[in-house]
């Protein structure tokens, strides 16, 4: 998989791409991430002699990323290869979910556009963007942290990235439920015991306990997820 990220501050992403699971995936060639600094295609002029943003037509607070620098990078990338998705990371996009991460992990080439300030010129969205994603119902200063979230969620699903091929299948949200509690050694810690069922060696009973705990946690913490899971579970039974 190849992911191209267009942003104003690529140095924010560089340390993230060098560490942990993602760093190992990139080093082993299982994925490739290319960072493109929008300032490299900045227009002459402006306070800093390189302009990538401007005031919004019609007035209002904040600045808008101009279309010309973004189009210059996008045109080069799209001329070089076929991309499955051109994704704009924005607070008003579709909420990014585990299901979408699963879907994107099956793609070959992706472009991520990181917004800044008040966002990007709408014409870039109309002409180039195929999907708009939000990592949650809140606003952050720029799209670089959102790009890190998407990259991590997608790349870790690629074959061979995780040491245990089944690990990602038991994550929260994969089956519509939150994760159950997990325990490791020692069996007793500060007066708290590991549940007996987990020490029993009875794997059907362990799986049943984990399902019950996942259901309980989801029902308590995420009633929206619980309602969807309950509905889909009933439909499968019918």
CATH number of the domain at 2-155, please? Answer: 3.40.1280.10
- 71-77: list long-range contacts, CB under 8 Å, 24+ apart: 71/124, 71/127, 71/128, 72/41, 73/6, 73/36, 73/38, 73/40, 73/41, 74/6, 74/111, 74/113, 74/124, 74/128, 77/4, 77/36, 77/111
Give the dihedral sign, CA 171/173/175/179.
Answer: positive
pTM, to two decimals: 0.89
With bands split at pLDDT 50, 70 and 90, how would you rate the model's confidence at 234?
Answer: confident
Secondary structure (3-state) at 18 = helix
Antiparallel, parallel or unpaired: β 109-114 and 85-95: parallel
Q: What is the pLDDT of residue 163?
A: 76
**Structure confidence at residue 167 (pLDDT):** 61
Q: Using one digit for the tens of pLDDT, what is the confidence trace for 82-113?
A: 999 999 999 999 999 999 999 999 999 999 99
Instruction: Check if the beta carbon of residue 44 is closer than 8 Å to that of residue 17.
Output: no
Q: Report pLDDT digits (tens) over 43-68.
A: 987 566 689 999 999 999 999 999 99
Q: Where are the domains of the chain?
A: 2-155, 172-237
Q: Average pLDDT of 124-140?
A: 97
Q: Over the stretch 194-231, which tens digit does the pLDDT of each residue have?
A: 999 999 999 999 999 999 999 999 999 999 999 999 99
Evaluate whether the domain defined by 172-237 bears CATH number 1.10.8.100: no
- Mean of all residue pLDDT scores within the chain: 93
């Amino acid at each position: 998989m190849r992911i191209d990220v267009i942003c104003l501050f690529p140095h924010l992403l560089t340390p993230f791409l060098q560490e942990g699971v993602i760093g190992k995936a990139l080093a082993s060639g299982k994925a490739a991430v290319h960072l493109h600094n929008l300032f490299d295609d900045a227009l002459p002029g402006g306070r800093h002699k390189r302009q990538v943003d401007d005031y919004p037509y019609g007035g209002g607070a904040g600045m808008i990323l101009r279309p010309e620098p973004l189009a210059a990078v996008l045109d080069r990338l799209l001329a070089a290869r076929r991309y499955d998705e051109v994704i704009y990371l924005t607070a008003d996009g579709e909420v990014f979910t585990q299901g979408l991460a699963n879907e994107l992990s099956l793609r070959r080439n992706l472009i991520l556009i990181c917004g800044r300030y008040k966002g990007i010129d709408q014409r870039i969205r109309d002409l180039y963007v195929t999907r708009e994603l939000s990592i949650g119902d809140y606003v952050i200063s720029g799209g670089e942290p959102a790009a890190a979230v998407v990259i991590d969620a997608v790349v870790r699903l690629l074959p061979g990235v995780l040491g245990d091929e089944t690990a990602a299948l038991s994550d929260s949200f994969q089956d519509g439920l939150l994760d159950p509690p997990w325990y490791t050694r020692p069996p007793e810690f500060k007066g708290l015991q590991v549940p007996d069922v987990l020490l029993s060696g009875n794997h059907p009973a362990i799986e049943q306990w984990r399902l019950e705990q996942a259901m309980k946690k989801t029902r308590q913490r995420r009633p929206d997820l619980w309602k969807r899971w309950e509905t889909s579970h009933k439909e499968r039974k019918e």
